[in-house]
Structure formats: C-alpha cells, structure tokens
Amino acid sequence: MSDQAPARDDLVTVTINGTTVQTEKGRLLIDVAEEIGNFIPRFCYHPGMKSVAVCRMCLVNVEGMPKLQPACATPVADGMIANTVSDEAVEAQKGVLELLLINHPLDCPICDRAGECPLQDQTYKHGPGSSRYVEEKRHYEKALDISELVVLDRERCVLCWRCVRFSDEIAGDRFIQLVDRGDGTQILNFTDDPFDSYFSGNTIQICPVGALTSKPYRFVSRPWDLETAPSVCDYCSVGCPLTNETRAGNLVRRQALPNEQVNDFWICDKGRFGYHYVSSEDRLTTPLVRSGEDFEQTGWAQALAVVAGKLKGAANVGVIAGGHLTTEDSYAIGKLARKVIGTKDVDSRIQDAGAPYELAMSLTGVAGSNATIDDLKAASNVVWVGPDPKESLPVLYLHLHTGVRDRNTDLFIVSSSSTSLDIHAAQVTRVAPSAQPAAIEALGDKLEGPTVVCWSPGYAGRDESPTLRAAVALAQKVGGKLLVCPPHAGSQGALDMGLHPALEAGHAVVAEPGRGTRQILQAAADGELDVLLIFGADVVADFPDADLARKALGGKAFVVCVELFSTETALLSDVVFPSAASPEREGTFTNLERRLQKLEPLTKPPGTAREVWKTCAAIASALDEDWGWHGFGDVWTDIKGNVRTHADVDIDKLTQEAPLPHPFDEQGFEGEHPSPLRMSGPGGQYPKGHRSGAPFATGQNWPLSWELRAFEARQRPGYVFPAPEVTEAPAMTSPEAVSEGSFELLSGRLIYDEGAMVSRSAALRGLQPDPFIEINDSDAKRLGIADGDPVIVSGAGNEIAVKARVNGVAEGCVFVPYDQKDCRANRLMSGVDPCVEIRKADA
Amino acid sequence: MSVRQLAVLGDHQGDVDAIVGKYPNARSALIPLLFYVQSVQGHVTEEGMRDVAQVLGLTPAEVLSVASFYTMLKKQATGEYLISVCRNITCTHLGGRKVLRAAEERLGVPAGQSTPDGRFTLEAAECLATCDGAPSLQINYEDFYKVSPEEMVEIIDKLERGDEVRSVAGEAIQTHKDVSREVAMTGVIEGHGNQEQGARTVSGEVPPADMAPGFRPPVKGHGAKEDPDA
Ligand code: SF4
Ligand code: SF4
Ligand code: FES
Ligand code: FES
C-alpha cells in the first residue's frame, strides 16, 4: 500500500499459517486462506451459497479460541491468527474423513465422479488412508432415477446439504430434501414427484461426491479422457459461461463456469444438457443447390457462383438473420448486406419481429441495456415487464429469485400471463397488453432507491412499442436503469452489429430505415424481392406468421439459407450453406447486459461446414469484393476500425484460458501445486469474491470477460444520441372489437420446446410438457371450459387442438406457448397483434 | 393449471383455516396440519402430505422432510389403539419384554404391526421417561405403569370389547384419531380463520409453489425408503 492511501476501516489484518494479509471485513476465513494459497478442505461450503457448517471438514485452529473453528463459518477479524495445518486441525480432518467413509461404498471404479471427486481428492490428501470400520455399511437402492436427467446414489452421499440448499436458496424449487433425519438421513424427492427443476444439473456439478450424477453423461467418459474448452451458452441472452467437453472428438458434457457478474456459479439445464444438437443427424455438411424438387450436394465454389450470379443482377435483396449468430457473423452479414449488396433491408428479429429495441436509445444510447446484472443485484426495486423469465431467461430468473430472497429486492411484475416469480413479488399487475403501459406508469410513485426496469419482448407478433416506451419513461422518471432482454445468445450482438433496419453497426441511426423482417417477407411473398438471404433463422418455424413465411419462400425470390440443420426453411430454399455450431468455432456472444464473451473452438464442424462470417466473406469475394479476412483476428481488426462502440475492444484480453488441467496431468497429490484447486474439476470449489473482470494470473479461475461498458461510458458525456423514428410499420391488421370467444394471442417460449437446437438435443427431448394453452378463469367459465379440457384454437385460417389450462392469464387473453410439438403458435398469427378464437373441442 | 382439489383436507376447510390462522407464518402450521391429516386418515398419507403442501405453499418434499422425522406422525396405517411398550433398559430389567410378548401373543402380530382388523397397532418404544413406573407402556400416548403381562392382556380385552380403560392419570383412552385431532387443534379458537394469508399481491392470484409454471407433473416413480420398524 502506498503512503497516501487513506486507512480503510473496512479492512482487517489476519495471519494465516504465518502469512499476514489485509482483507475486507466479513469475509470468511476459508476464502481468505484459499486466496493466499492455503486450501482448507471442505464438503458443505460452497461460495455461491450460505454457510451451514455441517460437514466439519474445515476445522482449523484460531488463536484464542478454545476449540477448533469451522473456517467456512468464521468471518475474519482484525488480528486473527489462524493455523489451518496444525496437528490438531490435521487430526480433526483425518477423523472427519474416516467417519464420512464409514458409510461410503468406495465404489470409485464404477463412479462417474472418480477422477474429479472432492471426496476422493481430499481423502488422498487429508484422509487416514485406511479405515478401522469393519461392520456392514448402510445400504440403499443404488442408482435411483430421480428425474429424466439426474441419478441419485444415496450410499455415496456425505449429507453436505449442497444440493438441498441449492434447490431452496438458489432455484427456489425444493423438489429434493433430507428425509428420515436421524441415523437414516438421506436425500430424496417426494415419492413419485421427480426432481423436475430447470436447474437440476447444478446439483450434479456441486455435489462433492458421486451421489448425484448426470444421466446423459452416465458412464460416458472418465474425466481424464475429456478435452475441455471454455465457451458461452448458445441458447438465451443471459450468456452463461460454460465448458464444452469432448471425449474422442464427441461433445459429451457441459458444465457451468463461474462468473459472479453473469451467472454466479450456475447454468440452466437447457444450457447444460442441450448440446446433442451439435451431433444431430440433421446437421448440414455440404452446400446444397436446388435442382427441381431435390437438392444437389455441391462444392463451395459451385454454390457460391450460383449465389453470386443471382446477386449480381438483383435489384431487391432482403437479409434476415437469426438470434444464435456470433458478433463476428453478425458484423459480416451487415457488411455484406449494406456495403457489398447495397441493401438496407436487414433485420435480425424473427420471433421478436418488430420488437422496438431502438426505443431504449433515448435512455441508454444504444438499442440495449444500460443496466448490468450487477446493477440488477444491487437494486432495491426491480420491475419485470414480460413473460415468465424462468422459461425464457432461466439464470436471470435465479438472480431475480435470490434478489427477493436474500437481497431484499422488491419485485414489481407487469405481465399478461402468469410467471414463476409471482409468488415472490411485492406486486403483480396482471393486465392485457394494451393496459401494460398504464400499469408501468403507475409504478412511478412506488419506487424509491436504485431501480432496474427489465423489459423482455414477450409476446411474439405483438407491437410492444407502447410498453417499452412506458418502461423507458419509468426508468427515466425514477432515475433507474434499463435492462433490455432480447431472446437469444446472439440477439444483442446482432443489434450491436447493425442487423436492424434502422441501425447500422455501432447503433448509428440510418437516415431512411430499410424494411424489417415482416416487410421483407411480405415483399418476398408479393414477388417484389429478387433474392432473400437467410442466416441461421428458421422463419417458417419462428416468424410469427408461418403462412407469410411460407409464401415468402415459395415466391419468385431466390432464397439462400445459411444453416446448421436441414430446417423447414432450408428445405424451401434454393441454395443452402452449412454453418458451424458454437463448440466448433472461435467467436464472441454479446449478452443482454452487452457483455462480450469469448467462445473457444473444441470440435471440428461436420463436412465442409464453416463459420457464417467466412461464408459472408466468400460471397463478397464471389462478388469481387475482397475483405482480406484470413482469420478471426482480421474480422476484429475490421470491426474495431468500423464500429465505434467496439473500437477499443482488445480481443486478446477476451481469451478465456482453458480450464485447469485435469488431475491426471498433475504429479500425484504431494508436493507443489500452484493452486490446490487443481485437484477438482470445474464446479468443485472456488474462492469467493474475486472472480470477475480481468483475467486471473493465479489459475484459480477462468478469466471471464471484458467490459465493453467502460468504454461506452467514457464516450457518452456530451454525445447526444439521435432518437430514431419508429421503424416498424403500424399494425397491418388491427384487431376488431373482441367478440365472444375471441382472444388476444400471447405467445412466449417455454424452456423446452421445438426450437431448432433444443429439439435436436436428445437429453431434453422427453421434457416438453404436453401441448397446452392457458386461459383466464372467468373466460374459461364463460366458454364452459374446465382445466384440462381439450380445446380448438383458431387463427389466421389455421387451427390447433390442445388442452386448456385455467390459469392467471389476463382476461381476454390466451397464452399459447410459442413452439410446441405439432402445434406451432405462429401458424395462428397474421399481422401484428394477432387474435384467435377458442372453442371447446367436441367430445 | 388450476388448483388441485384437496383430497384429505377438502372437507375440513374451517378447521384448516383456523389452524393456519393461529400463526403469523403459515409454515408454522405444518406439524398441526400433519396431525390433522392423521386424525382424518389414521396416519400421514401421501395424499395428505400433498394437501398440506398445497395449503401452506410448500413442496411435498419439504413436507415429507418434516413428517419423516417425527415418530408420532405415522407413515403406516395405524389402529384405533396404538400400544407402545417400552423396550429400554429399566423396563427390560423389570419385565417389559414379557409385557411386549404378551401383547404380541394376544394380538397375533409382532411389534411394529397392526392387527388385520385395523384396531390395534403394537410398537416397541424407546424410554418413555417414566422409568419409575417400569415396566411402562402407553396407549395412544396415555401412561400405564407397572403393567404385568396379565394386565396387558386384560387391557387389550377391555379395549376390544369397548369397555372404558383409564390411564394412571385417570384419563379415559380415546382413539388414535381423536388424540391426533386434539393435538392438531390445540390452541385453536373455533371459527377464527386467517384473513391475511398470502396477501402480497395487488391483483392476480398467488399460486402455490408446486403449481407455479415450470412445475411438471410426475413422470415415473419409486418408493420412499420403508420404515425399518414396520
Ligand atoms: S447428494 Fe451430494 S450434494 Fe446432496 S447432500 Fe449428498 S453429497 Fe451433498
Ligand atoms: S440461462 Fe440462458 S445462457 Fe444461461 S445456461 Fe440457460 S439458456 Fe444458457
Ligand atoms: S463445515 Fe466448513 S466446509 Fe463443511
Ligand atoms: S426405560 Fe422404560 S420408561 Fe425409561
């Protein structure tokens, strides 16, 4: 510390094993010791949850205390002198391990955890080596299926409570509990009720033994046979960092990487188990060129020549991109469209077509958030406007849940359909979409203290401009911040890179906006487009008007589709290029707080599939424009030179170092370890509190991400962002007065649905609920519909037959999950703000 | 999804409200409500636990976690008369095991089981804290001291005939269900329901936790661990 540094009264000085350090008051001894290289063994302590001190593995000597203290429940105090390796402490640790092993089956040879098991590791390092116990061990039925994803072996459990605490404290769905407390204590679910949490996989990762194991990964690999690369989840816009792990080139596992600024320690089960799509049989492997009814497999040069030929003579070109593309892909698409082809008709909003992100600019300066997840956690008020975040943005739901539970956040919900957070909210306003703006405005007088207003474009096909405008006005009025939550992993990056008819890369407003997704498809359907380029978007399945999408593809426009899979859209196209999936490539995703995070490549794309940016560069070069992009670095040089918001990005700093080597690389367990953490695989254990921001030198953590925001904040003062005009045309069909049996259609995603990736992920296939819709109690009564009755929903000339759930949807509205099996909601939609009819199905 | 019908507590809404209304925090009513379920069904059934979870906004697993801890909350069908014979050290020295054996022979079932007609359940209990009365036993938790094997048989005969039996404290023995009801209703003021329950929202209803979106109905099952004493 320098001489000028003012004395900080939040610091204390402690001495641990002879080393004296200064650290913040209130931190736990176990964390401080670990940070300075003294790893205290532990089972129950996990930095993401509260201490319970039940396992007694972390006992250490603290001078002045008559007995050993559990380091996980001992806050550091000024002048504290602790010894974590005293004879007494070491003896206690041995004793605890011997007791834990009394009932442990020691079946490591058939245990998935072996090789990355904290119990195994700590027994080697701290245990007694042999047991004096010769009696019969406790027995339970082994390998109990407690859900479609999790297997429980109660004999291996050391009763650390981590899984139970996670379910309670973090996920808030207490499907597993300790039962038969006493000598028969065990973890169990309730009889036939499965452990059906959206977050169950986290308990597998934090279980310090092999008691909870993963069904999809069961007996698939030994940890030392895995190759691992850090990546970012490719599903929703929370952007949870995670690992991709392969065995012999096949992706076999994903685990959460910790970042306290993004996901804490957690990911949802969709992110964790939704990786089988990568090896799906539907993956495209070569370019395809239509010949009559069929496709011909071709080489790239041939297909590119066909596309270039069409583009050269084209006067009208539309470009549509999906939500799962990386920042680089989006930049390349924008560059190809605007600079090479010369069209302004570019959009990346599919399911969220017309979502008025640009309205956020009057507050944030960008079509996105100015709040971070950290802001959300620190806020005393959070306003949630949108459908259930547990379904669409699962880890954000965790933050909102723990906010109410542990951080005294007051949660105000304005939503037209029921949400999982309703039971935690200080106030729920359940009104039809048209009444949302007034409901949001009315909150203005209730919010004191730091406030974050969250808006997620909820209901597909609706014009949400009045709602977002009200949300922005509310944030402005109370001096709060705005968290804009676009749907997918690549959505924000696409907006940042200008895949929006009114915004160029860097959120520069276009003087005369081009056409949005709906108008582009309409133009194609009307025969006004010559070429339609579609990147990673299944418009037939995802655009909120399936018939229009089909007509657009069936029109005279020449359709080029760049895709992972042979989707419906791809099958209706004229030329198809295969693309690489996220574990197969280098890239970045930008999450909903506009944080840029890096994907590292691990596997090879199938056949000749490649990154979308390469495809764009190849099309450009076929049109005689050479971008000079030979690698990922060149793309970034281009981006930095041309996108003002990204000029300062240091892409090398974003590099996530590969996770720690697996234990096999280590020289046994004695002697020198740069960090004792090396003993356990991801999720085993981390110190708390110093895990975010810049890369770590110690190897105790994976360097995570780089803050774009700092740069932008510097740019902002004095710079006035022009407010854009509304870019989508007003409603093309306005709903008639609502008649008997006519409902406003609300449609949002469920976590497990027919989405292109999740539906091709084997482990999650069985988890979709049976198709359903939700209607309001009084509407149901009026129509004579009881809970569980079959109903027919009709709209846009189509009908679907489903079961009705009678639920807390706003009156006059019906919630139809977006992409259910055999009943896609987008078939019921035409125009903006669609309505549908509901009637009881004839028995 | 609408709210599931209460299978066990549905016909007792008044009492249930009164019990829940006793506490500032609804969760505190968990044990009384489990006794209430026992008073209706004779033991704590799966359906009963689901009802309690639903009433209190807990998950069934949380209810099980508590229910499985307390031996007085019976997970197996239990007769009208629960006879608990002490098998701990003082009583054993003074002939408790003989009393137990006499009961087993008279009832024709071993300790831990109920008679086929469902009237009696016999259990071997740990120290009843009445060692001065050893050999001790309890019938529906009322004490009997210095009981001989012959007296044991006599008491069972009387209960079977419907004759009055009184404990050492002079209490007439009620049925197990009645006793459970008494425990459940302790301190409840009749007709004093709880008006304030769950009133955190301004509009819209509050679904119980297991009815919230994201909850999916069971897919397949397996049994909980059996009671080793059963
Ligand atoms: S199952 Fe694992 S996480 Fe849960 S209590 Fe047992 S050892 Fe701990
Ligand atoms: S919350 Fe979103 S980003 Fe995080 S793991 Fe789940 S789907 Fe992926
Ligand atoms: S008691 Fe401290 S880690 Fe378990
Ligand atoms: S030993 Fe029987 S009552 Fe104590």
Q: Are residues A195 and A273 in the same domain?
A: yes
**Residue A364 above 90 pLDDT?**
no
Mean pLDDT of chain A: 86
Q: How large is the average pLDDT for residues A570-590? A: 95
Q: By the 8 A CB rule, do B113 and B62 touch?
A: no
Structure tokens at A158: 């050391």
Q: How large is the average pLDDT for residues A557-583? A: 96
Residue A422 near chain B (CB below 8 Å): yes
A598 vs A3, higher pLDDT: A598
Residues of A in contact with B63 (CB under 8 A): 190
In the listed set A606, A625, A649, which residue is the last one of a domain according to the structure? A649
User: Phi-psi region for residue A113, left (φ > 0), alpha (ψ -120 to 50) or beta?
Assistant: alpha
Highest mean pLDDT: which of A82-91, A457-466, A698-707?
Answer: A82-91
Q: Please provide residue A121's backbone torsions phi and psi, each rounded to the nearest 5 degrees.
A: -60, -45
Quote the pLDDT of residue A653. 66
> What CATH number did the domain enclosing A207 receive?
3.30.70.20
Which ligand has the minimum distance to the alpha carbon of residue A44?
Answer: 3
Q: Minimal Cα–Cα distance from A288 to chain B, Å?
A: 40
Quote the pLDDT of residue A173. 92
From A3-12, A392-401, A732-741, the region with the lowest mean pLDDT: A732-741
Q: Cite the residue boundaries of each domain of chain B with CATH code 3.40.30.10.
A: 81-174
A757 lines ligand 2 (CB under 6 A): no
Q: Are residues A57 and A159 in the same domain?
A: no
Q: Are residues A109 and A226 in the same domain?
A: yes
Q: Which of B214, B221, B225 lies at the smallest CB-CB distance from A420? A: B214
From A490-494, A553-557, A588-592, the region with the lowest mean pLDDT: A588-592
**Coil, strand, or helix at residue A548?**
helix
Q: Minimal Cα–Cα distance from B132 to chain A, Å?
A: 28
In the listed set A63, A85, A101, which residue is the last one of a domain according to the structure? A101
Mutation pick for ligand 3 pocket among A46, A58, A69, A100 (CB with most ligand atoms within 8 Å)? A58
A633 vs A831, higher pLDDT: A633
**Residue B206 above 80 pLDDT?**
no
Q: Are residues A339 and A374 in the same domain?
A: no
Residue B76 near chain A (CB below 8 Å): no
A520 vs A658, higher pLDDT: A520
Q: Are residues A97 and A107 in the same domain?
A: no
CA–CA gap between residue A645 and residue A506 (Å, rounded):
5
Q: By the 8 A CB rule, do A706 and A234 touch?
A: no
Give the position, in ligand 2's atom list, of the atom nearest the Cα of A239: 3
Q: Minimal Cα–Cα distance from B27 to chain A, Å?
A: 14
Q: Minimal Cα–Cα distance from B63 to chain A, Å?
A: 9
Name the closest residue on chain B to residue A190, using Cα atoms.
B61
Q: Are residues A371 and A457 in the same domain?
A: yes
Reported as a single tens digit per residue, the pLDDT across B29-53 is 999 999 999 999 999 999 999 999 9
Residue B1 near chain A (CB below 8 Å): yes
Q: Are residues A473 and A498 in the same domain?
A: no
Q: List residues near ligand 3 (CB under 6 A).
A: A 42-45, 53-58, 70, 72
**Residue B225 above 50 pLDDT?**
no
Q: How large is the average pLDDT for residues A117-124? A: 84
Q: Are residues A270 and A222 in the same domain?
A: yes
Quote the pLDDT of residue A593. 87
**Coil, strand, or helix at residue B185?**
helix
Rounded distance from Cα A103 to ligand 3 centre (Å): 19
What residues contact A592, with CB distance under 8 A and at least 6 apart?
A237, A238, A239, A368, A369, A393, A396, A483, A484, A485, A486, A492
Q: Minimal Cα–Cα distance from B160 to chain A, Å?
A: 33
Q: Minimal Cα–Cα distance from A225 to chain B, Å?
A: 33
Residue B112 near chain A (CB below 8 Å): no
Q: Are residues A535 and A634 in the same domain?
A: yes
Does residue A705 form part of some domain?
no
What confidence category does residue A677 fall into, taking pLDDT thresholds of 50, 70 and 90? Answer: very low
A373 lines ligand 2 (CB under 6 A): no
Quote the pLDDT of residue A599. 87
pTM score, whole prediction: 0.86
Residues of A in contact with B214 (CB under 8 A): 173, 198, 388, 390-391, 420, 751
Reported as a single tens digit per residue, the pLDDT across A300-310 is 999 999 999 99
Q: Which of B59, B200, B213 lies at the smallest CB-CB distance from A391? A: B213
**Residue B200 above 90 pLDDT?**
no
Quote the pLDDT of residue B190. 57
Residue A177 near chain B (CB below 8 Å): yes
From A383-392, A497-506, A670-679, B199-208, the region with the lowest mean pLDDT: A670-679
ipTM of the complex as predicted: 0.80
Rounded distance from Cα A211 to ligand 1 centre (Å): 6
Q: Are residues A94 and A210 in the same domain?
A: no
Q: How would you class B84 by CB atoms within 10 Å of its CB: exposed for 0-12, middle for 13-18, buried for 19 or more?
A: buried
Evaluated on CA atoms A203, A208, A210, A216, the torsion sign reads positive
Quote the pLDDT of residue A684. 28
CA–CA gap between residue B4 and residue A705 (Å, rounded):
46
Quote the pLDDT of residue A714. 28
**Residue A119 above 90 pLDDT?**
no
Hey, which residues does A587 pair with through a beta bridge?
A599
Q: Which of B62, B204, B215 lies at the smallest CB-CB distance from A808? A: B204
A337 lines ligand 2 (CB under 6 A): no
Q: Minimal Cα–Cα distance from A768 to chain B, Å?
A: 9
Name the closest residue on chain A to residue B220, using Cα atoms.
A192
Q: By the 8 A CB rule, do A251 and A279 touch?
A: yes
Residue A438 near chain B (CB below 8 Å): no
A163 lines ligand 1 (CB under 6 A): yes
Q: How large is the average pLDDT for residues A91-109? A: 94
Nearest to A404 by CA among A385, A429, A422: A422
Cα A685 to chain centroid, rounded: 22
Q: Are residues A179 and A125 in the same domain?
A: yes
Rounded distance from Cα A363 to ligand 1 centre (Å): 46
A758 lines ligand 2 (CB under 6 A): no
Quote the pLDDT of residue A6. 59
In the listed set A225, A246, A279, which residue is the last one of a domain according to the structure? A279
Does residue A3 form part of some domain?
no
CB contact under 8 A, B68 and A180: yes
- Interfacial A residues in 3-62 facing B (CB < 8 Å): none
Quote the pLDDT of residue A739. 54
CA–CA gap between residue B182 and residue B36 (Å, rounded):
9
A595 lines ligand 2 (CB under 6 A): no
Size of interface A-B (CB pairs under 8 A): 135
A767 lines ligand 1 (CB under 6 A): no
CA–CA gap between residue A286 and residue A468 (Å, rounded):
42
Quote the pLDDT of residue A65. 94
Rounded distance from Cα B123 to ligand 4 centre (Å): 14
Q: Are residues A317 and A348 in the same domain?
A: yes
Q: By the 8 A CB rule, do A12 and A23 touch?
A: yes
What residues contact B199, with CB distance under 8 A and at least 6 apart?
none
> What CATH number did the domain enclosing A40 receive?
3.10.20.740
Q: How large is the average pLDDT for residues A813-817? A: 92
Counted domains in chain A: 5
CATH topology assigned to domain B81-174: Glutaredoxin (3.40.30)
Domain, as residue range, for A208: 103-279
Looking at domain B3-75+180-185, does it have CATH number 1.10.10.1590? yes
Q: List residues near ligand 4 (CB under 6 A).
A: B 86, 88-91, 127-128, 130-131, 134, 136
Quote the pLDDT of residue A340. 96
A57 lines ligand 1 (CB under 6 A): no
Reported as a single tens digit per residue, the pLDDT across B111-169 is 999 999 999 999 999 999 999 999 999 999 999 999 999 999 999 999 999 999 999 99
**Residue A659 above 50 pLDDT?**
no
Mutation pick for ligand 1 pocket among A212, A214, A265 (CB with most ligand atoms within 8 Å)? A212
**Residue B90 above 70 pLDDT?**
yes
Q: How large is the average pLDDT for residues B201-226? A: 36
Reported as a single tens digit per residue, the pLDDT across A505-534 is 988 899 899 999 999 999 999 999 999 999
Q: Which of B209, B212, B224 lies at the smallest CB-CB distance from A179? A: B224
Quote the pLDDT of residue A702. 24
What confidence category does residue B189 fall into, taking pLDDT thresholds of 50, 70 and 90? Answer: low
Residues of A in contact with B68 (CB under 8 A): 179-181
Question: Measuring from atom 2 of ligand 2, which residue has the nearest CA?
Answer: A236
Name the closest residue on chain B to residue A140, using Cα atoms.
B225
Degrees, nearest 5: CA angle A544-A547-A552: 100
What residues contact A689, with CB distance under 8 A and at least 6 apart?
A24, A27, A31, A47, A260
Q: Cite the residue boundaries of each domain of chain B with CATH code 1.10.10.1590.
A: 3-75+180-185
Nearest to A385 by CA among A448, A462, A328, A279: A462
Q: Which of A175, A196, A422 lies at the smallest CB-CB distance from B207? A: A422
Q: Which of B59, B205, B213 lies at the smallest CB-CB distance from A390? A: B213
